[in-house]
Amino acid sequence: MLRRMTEISRRNVLVAGVSLGFAVTASGATALRAFAAEGERAVNVTGDYTIKNASTGCQVSVKVRKGIRTITSNGLPDYQPGIFPNSGNPNTISAQSYAYALPTRPKLTTITPFEIPQSFGITVDGVLFDPLAAEYWNNDRNSGWQYYALGGGINLGLDANHAHVQPSGAYHYHGVPDGLLNVLGSSRHSPLVGWAGDGFPIYVRDGYANPKKSGKVRELQSSYQLKTGTRPSGPGGIYNGWFNQDYQYLAGSSDLDAANGRFCITPDYPKGTYAYFITEAFPSVPNAFAGAIAQSFVSSPPTGGPPGGGPPPRLQA
């Protein structure tokens, strides 16, 4: 289960000039906790908010208007990241300039994987999810063997938050954003941690056991499985999880589809939504979209659907 929030994080978050901190409501929805003269109130994180934290440097502004969620941020997390440069990552964190316009009511299309430099999504505090590593067997992008960022086959200098820094200075996630989870806090269903490039929400690990109703929560599992046997080419040797190509999607083998998502009820969407889940196991951060990527988020063309691709079924009324 995700860690229980023990206190409101020390943040400087503004909504209409009111100081706020992240919180989880009684229903489990991710919210911003407002402190005003008339008392506290919860501001739904799916609406407007602004974060300006002088101690972490994090700056993000979110506005929702006419079906579009506009997100601008400087890409700095709202916690202290690991030390960079380090032995596996020579780059220094620096502020970025992100501006995205994502649909608030996205539509499912066909599950479509993507390649670098395409990012997957952005967190509620304005940091990118960038699952794919730019490292290949023998440094050959055409080899057909791309290192899995969390597979242990190469040292990428990731910090305790499964994140590191691009040459541009952009801090980004390859896996579970533990530092952000510590800020958000939750003891049951995952908090809403961000938005995918197609506009659908992103959660981490824990969801309702029954996707059609709230209640028991458990850790959801990816439907990607490690292949058996030996690699037929490239690095050879047994499939040990070092490369993305060491895994295959087995439809229906577990909770999530080929994009590591499902249609389900969440605390933030009690009527149901398609939602992505970041998992401990491969692929961790999804490397495919179930909806059309918003034009503002596109940075590389799609590559076609994986085995078993296609939109997941909607919940039946």
The pLDDT tens digits for 43-101 are: 577 998 888 888 899 999 999 999 999 999 999 999 999 999 999 999 999 999 999 99
300 sits in which H/E element: none
Place of tokens 């491969």: 282
Structure tokens at 277: 């889940």
Give, in order, the Cα–Cα distances in Å from 69 to each of 17, 45, 265, 271.
20, 11, 21, 20
Check residue 14 and give its pLDDT. 56
Q: Where are the alpha helices (DSSP H) in 61-203?
A: 178-184
State both tokens at 6: 């023990």
11-39 pLDDT, tens digit per residue, is 455 555 454 566 666 677 776 655 444 44
Per-residue pLDDT, 64 = 96
Q: What is the pTM of this model?
A: 0.88
Longest dimension (CA), the chain: 67
pLDDT score recorded for residue 52: 87
User: Whole-angstrom Cα distance, residue 30 to residue 185?
Assistant: 9
CA–CA distances in Å: residue 44 to residues 24, 26, 121, 238: 10, 12, 19, 48
| Residue-level pLDDT at 34 | 52
Query: pLDDT tens digits, residue range 238-272?
Result: 999 999 999 999 999 999 999 999 999 999 999 99
Taking 90 as the threshold, does the pLDDT of residue 143 lie above it? yes
Of 39, 5, 35, nearest to 20 (Cα)? 35
Q: Read off the pLDDT of residues 263-288 as tens digits, 9 standing for 90 and up.
A: 999 999 999 999 999 999 999 999 99
